Amino acid sequence: MNYDLIIARYGEIGLKSPKIRSRFERKLVKNIQATFECEVDRNQGRIYIHPEDFDDGIEKLNRVFGVVSYSPATSTKTTYEDIDKTLGEYVEELMAEDILDENTKFAIKCRRVGTHDFTSQEMAAHCGGVVRNKVLAPVDLTNPDLTIFVEVREDDTFIFHEKIKGPGGLPLGTQGKVVVLLSSGIDSPVAAYLMMKRGCEVVALHCNNDPFSGPKVTENFNALVNQLNIYAKGTPIKKRVIDYGEYLTVAKQKAPEKMTCVLCKSGMYKIAEKLAVKLGADAIVDGSSVGQVASQTLSNILATRYGVDMPILSPLIGLDKEEITEIAKKIGTFEISKIDDGGCSAVPRYPETRADLDRVKHACEDMNQDEEVQKAFENIRKLY
């Protein structure tokens, strides 16, 4: 098809106040331009994109949060002569690509903004006649096989027949910053993706459990961030890593063995909180799903978050593994997460599943958790 632009649409951005809406639109435009080379105009709830490479733009626009749907389109001027000519050529291309023939039930939907000497219904009827002059296809306004959209906006008219679903959400970078506890597993990358979809800038915090885990864990973490970053153009993910093996060694030596996983998660939250304060983040995010593993029973979730004042968000909390896996496959992290990284040998044979808060407090005191957390945090470093 001889397209000359892409029309992108947003959803809930349009419900914001004029000031917020304008700010969100500007950020959305910047994120689009950071994703692929293009020129962008915005007008009355629409974003008009002129990509340097059209196929590249169509593919990559599906990675830009805030875009609800988009359509490759052909533009013309709002005169009967120009519309007739452009629509006629458009129909010929549909026929050449076997999208439209005499057996295709079709409909014209016209939307109009501005002052014109015709109504939307009148223009739709006129355009239906243009189509019928090219091919004697039946009109079906109720259940068409093909809908051709004619969008009239002041002096410009846009013609298209596809509405491609975008990722939705809010523009990345409009909702503050979060620290995500990102492992090499399936869940936490999905949690990071969902927070990005809600407009949050992500700082990915990785806990290196060496000697209880191998180098493959960190390799997989880097690969996962690289994959997530294809959705983060304009606001790329920042990476931080801590050496967590010493903390775990002290936990295993000075606290009850079965409490290791509880103390591990508790320490991670407290380190993440320190990092969040340092970087100006507003929340901590993890991949918890109720009951999925030992540290994610309700009693353990309560116990591991004790002593952390910052909000801890768990966007997967009500999803099961199958639902999480489907999202992971869709966003391209599943194949990376399922690579065998050797696991964590610090996990006890019989981990605590119903942690009592008082016993957790005593275990934290036994290992002098605050001191160990501070020691780990002081050695935090950037990854590039």
Q: What is the per-residue pLDDT across 178-200, written as a single tens digit (0 to 9) for each?
A: 999 999 899 999 999 999 999 99
**Model's pTM, two decimal places?**
0.92
In angstroms, rounded to a whole number, what is the distance separating the alpha carbons of residues 205 and 39?
35
**Inter-residue contact 132 to 100 (CB < 8 Å):** no
Domains of the chain (ranges; CATH) run: 5-165 (3.30.2130.30), 177-383 (3.40.50.620)
Closest CA to 189 of 127, 231, 153: 231
What percent of the chain stands above pLDDT 90? 83
Residue 108 host element (H or E): strand 106-113
Share the mean pLDDT of the chain: 94
Count of positions (residues) in the chain: 384
226-250 confidence digits (pLDDT tens): 999 999 999 999 999 999 999 999 9
Measuring CA to CA, which residue among 202, 230, 199 is closest to residue 13?
199
The b-or-e profile of 215-244 (16+ CB within 10 A means b, else e) is: eebbebbbbbbebbbebbbbbebbbbbbeb
Residue 167 CB neighbour total at 10 angstroms: 18
Contact 93, 1 (CB under 8 A): yes
pLDDT digits (tens, 9 = 90+) for 160-170: 999 999 999 99
- pLDDT per position as a tens digit, 349-379: 888 888 888 889 999 999 999 999 999 999 9
pLDDT at residue 337 above 80?
A: yes
The residues near 170 (Cβ < 8 Å, ≥ 6 apart) are 12, 13, 24, 65, 66, 197, 198, 199
